[in-house]
Amino acid sequence: MKLHLTLAALFTALSFVSAEEKEVFNGKDLTGWEGNKDLWSVKDGAITGITPPDPADPKKGIIKHNTFLVWKGGTVGDFELTFQYRIEKGNSGVQYRSKELAPGEFGPIISGYQADFEAGDTYSGILYEERGRGILAKRGEKTVIKPAARTSPEGGKKAVVEVTGTVGESAAIQASIKKEDWNEYRIVAKGNHVQHFINGMQTVDVTDEDAANAPKEGLLALQIHQGPPMVVQFKNFKLVESK
């Protein structure tokens, strides 16, 4: 069994070696990206998203729904993406294999897989499906997603999640994440198998067997979360798609 797993991991890694890296961010401006330019900009070589304070109540942000900066360079299916992020307050994430819904008041609204992270201590590293089936794996979990049968609060189907193992201790993963500083995130998606890593530590391992609802290809996007004022930054993207 160990040999089989090792060979499977090696095969997955080799499938990305010969693939060509695609430019996601030029490090200078938002060429190739689409979103609300009052909320998104480039500062110090990093894509920067903000939730501005509400003048009537500075403890609250002005945006009333999650909004996104969408990469217009194509779609992603099977791929490996590495990037660095830092966040001050709030919650954010990277959408992948996602789709754009009707535009919102504050910019694009996106549905699909999300590699989540936050300024808090609970959600960084999880797999969440925005405007879909909800949390598909909590941090540290290895899960299998079965066909969805229940309606979620967001209007979609709520996932039937089977926890089949662990990839690490949630507290240890959290302890490795640097507050308000740069961290490295890696996403690996191959078929119905998805893995997240932060600072070299695996955070989730998901096999999505809900074929009717599992996204197989779609958009790449960055999130600004509704709620209190926040700042999130992204840089050093490396996207390699498997052939």
Encode burial over 125-155: b for 16+ CB neighbours within 10 A, e otherwise: bbbbbbbbbbbbbbbbbbbbbeebeeeeeee
- CATH superfamily for 21-241 is Exo-inulinase; domain 1 (2.60.120.560)
Q: What is the pLDDT of residue 1?
A: 46
Q: What is the pLDDT of residue 151?
A: 62
Q: What is the pLDDT of residue 4?
A: 47
pTM above 0.85, yes or no: yes
* Bridge pairing between strands 67-71 and 219-224: antiparallel
Can you tell me the distance from the alpha carbon of 112 to that of 93, in angstroms, rounded to the nearest whole number?
A: 11
Q: What is the pLDDT of residue 156?
A: 63
- Residues of the chain short of pLDDT 70, as ranges, are 1-19, 149-156, 243
Q: What is the pLDDT of residue 152?
A: 59
Domain boundaries, the chain: 21-241
Can you tell me the distance from the alpha carbon of 139 to that of 125, in angstroms, rounded to the nearest whole number?
A: 6
- Residue by residue, DSSP assigns 145-185 as EEEEEEE-TTSSEEEEEEEEEESS-HHHHHHTSPTTS-EEE
Q: What is the pLDDT of residue 28?
A: 97
